[in-house]
Amino acid sequence: MIENVPDTAPGISNQGWCALHTRYQHEKFVAQVLTHRQFEVFLPQYTAIRHWKDRDRQLSLPLFPCYVFIRGRLERRLDILTTPGVIGWVGVGGPSVIPAGEMEAVRRVVERIANVEPHPYLTCGDRVRVKTGPLAGLEGILVRKKNLYRLVLSVEILERSAAVEVEVSCVERVAGGPGAPREFCSGRNGGWTEVQNVAARAPSSVMQMAG
């Protein structure tokens, strides 16, 4: 559940992570300026290869374009909102606090996993939990196209998602999770049974992005 923090709320300096909406391609500049001003800033990034006529170039790009995360010292809101490139808070009537679990999932993924990239935001699908490895305990949505899979992690307030590769054998379905819409997660018969059957036929397969 997203908690909204009104502008007049006292004692908000120890609140959790909030999000700033930035101008296009100003994310890194905003993060640098706020860091220099002694704010705690988080800008998740991923590595992408861009193909030029004469060479390939490796770039570090924002995982959630046009957003920067900030935590604490919100009493200095004027310093934050007057930072060049900042459009405003993500929230109604002030910054909304992002659930700690969502932020921890994003941080663990960008710190420990190389194959992560933006993914269209989803709110439905087979919800699964990672059983082993550096992402153990994280929950996300399993998406599928043909025999390829990826785990999608979402930040609800931004309506943005990221997809990360995980071994099929390392995930389990979350009890009571939402159903699996055919367009996202199913084969001809659909459902978790088919996912397990695919994993049994191809133990080395990994989750890949749908689409």
What is the domain partition of the chain in residue ranges? 3-98, 102-201
Query: How far is it, in rounded angstroms, from Cα 137 to Cα 193?
Result: 21
AA letter at 162: A
Q: Do domains 3-98 and 102-201 have the same CATH topology?
A: no
* Per-residue pLDDT tens digits for 7-27: 444 434 457 999 999 999 999
Asked if 69 and 42 count as a contact pair (C-beta separation under 8 A), the reply is yes
AA letter at 92: V
Lowest mean pLDDT among 81-95, 122-136, 149-163: 122-136
CB atoms within 10 A of CB 153: 23
Q: Which residue, 196, 135, 187, 180, is CA-closest to 162?
A: 135
At residue 101, φ and ψ (nearest 5 deg) are -65, -40
Mean pLDDT, rounded, for 122-131: 76
Task: Identify the CATH number of the domain defined by range 102-201.
Answer: 2.30.30
* Per-residue pLDDT tens digits for 151-187: 888 898 999 999 888 777 788 888 765 544 444 444 4
AA letter at 22: T
Position 71 pLDDT exceeds 90: yes
Position 204 pLDDT exceeds 60: no
pLDDT value, residue 108: 92
pLDDT value, residue 181: 44
pLDDT value, residue 14: 52
* Per-residue pLDDT tens digits for 24-43: 999 999 999 999 999 999 99
At residue 8, φ and ψ (nearest 5 deg) are -95, 5
What would the DSSP string read from start to end of 143-169? EEETTEEEEEEEEGGGTEEEEE--BGG
CB atoms within 10 A of CB 76: 13
Position 124 pLDDT exceeds 60: no
Q: Which residue, 10, 40, 44, is CA-closest to 27?
A: 44
pLDDT value, residue 178: 52
Domain 3-98 in CATH 3.40.50.2300? The answer is: no
Look at residue 193 and give its three-state secondary structure: helix
Predicted TM-score (pTM) of this structure = 0.68
